[in-house]
Amino acid sequence: MYQIRKAKLEDAEKIADIHVKSWKSTYSELINEKDMSNITYENRKTLWETVLSMPMHGQVALVVLDQHNQIVGFISGGKERTKRFGYDGEIYAIYLLDAFQRKGLGAMMLEAFAKEMNELEYKSLLVWVLTQNPSSKFYIDHGAKQIEEEETTIGKGTYQETAFGWESIDALLKRFE
């Protein structure tokens, strides 16, 4: 039985570990190895300690726990950062350990995150995904529409990324009923 709860400061190390492992397994075929080396456990741990110790109003960070109460994934987000597309909320990160993918946990996290964002009075959601990432299908399968493509820099490399969005969080939540 899996469960989702709000992330706490003491989760920072495990979230950092999942972030790095999932990032590297997801993007190893898509991003140059030198550019991949910029994502380290140490910098992710510092990031998550900062995020979780000083939560900003309007931000959400959730973790998913396995049957042994171990964190196996997370999702986080808040205000949409570009302000270019008319969406007010954004998923900043969603990652699951490889062994827990394709078990419905991504959808479970997306639903819980959408509920939290809805309670914070967000109306719409955006997420950026590397264009070549096969996980893009997850967002489309859950009703997101492709919005924009642009280049992003990771390390010294330039990569194409795609924005997907849900114009209505309410409509997204209806998909889970």
Q: For 123-170, how does the pLDDT look when each residue is reduced to its tens digit (9 = 90+)? A: 999 999 999 888 889 999 999 999 999 999 888 889 999 999 999 999
pTM: 0.93
Q: How far is CA 169 from the centre of its chain?
A: 16
Distance of alpha carbon 36 from alpha carbon 52, whole angstroms: 24
Query: Which residue's structure tokens are 């062994």?
Result: 99
CA geometry: angle 88, 138, 68, nearest 5 deg: 100
What CATH number is given for 3-174 in this structure? 3.40.630.30
Residue 99 binned pLDDT confidence (cut-offs 50, 70, 90): very high
